[in-house]
Amino acid sequence: MNAKGKQTLFMILTVLLCLVVLAAAGVVCYGYFSRGMNLRAVDMQKYAKVEMEDEVYTVSVDADAIVRDMHLPNPKSTTLDLDRYPDVATVYSLTFLVTPREEGGWLIQTGSDRATAAEDLRKGGLKLINTEWTWTETDMKTAYRAGLEYPRKLSMKKYVLCGKNSMGGYVLTVDHERMLRATGWDLPDDEATRKAHTGYKAVLSLGYYITPLVQGFLVETSSTLENVYAMLLENGVKLTDTTWTYTLEEVETLYEEQHPVEPETVSAANMTASAGGQADGVLLTSLYQVDQSPVRRAIQEAREQHFGDGVKSSEVIGSCFAVAKDEAAEHGNVFRIVYAITTADDAQKYLVADLFDLTGGSLPTAADVRLVEKGSRDEALGTSDLDPGRYTVQILTEGAMVYPEDNGASPFSVDGLLFPDSLTERITEADVWSLAIPEDKTLLQLLGFARNEIFARCGNKFSDTSAYTRFYADYPWYQPKGSVSYNTIKAKYPVAAENIDFFKAMEKLIKEG
The whole-angstrom separation of Cα 130 and Cα 135 is 13
This prediction's pTM: 0.46
**501 pairs with which residues across the strands?**
none
Query: For 446-492, what is each residue's pLDDT tens digit?
Result: 899 999 999 999 999 888 888 898 899 889 899 988 888 888 898 88
Taking CA atoms, 499 is separated from 52, 448, 489, 507, in Å, by 19, 12, 11, 12
The region, left, alpha or beta by phi > 0 then psi within -120 to 50, assigned to residue 66 is alpha
- Three-state SS for 400? coil
Peptide bond into 151 cis (omega under 30): yes
What pLDDT sits at residue 81? Answer: 72
For residue 137, report the phi and psi dihedrals to the nearest 5 degrees: -65, -35
Residue pLDDT, tens place only, 414-448: 888 999 889 988 888 878 887 877 777 888 888 99
Is residue 40 over pLDDT 60? yes
pLDDT tens for 160-211 read: 988 876 556 778 888 888 888 888 787 887 777 888 899 998 998 888 888 8
Neighbour-count burial for 411-420, b at 16+ CB within 10 Å, e otherwise:
bbeeebbbbe
φ/ψ (deg, to 5) at 283: -55, 130
Residues 6+ apart with CB under 8 A from 367: 302
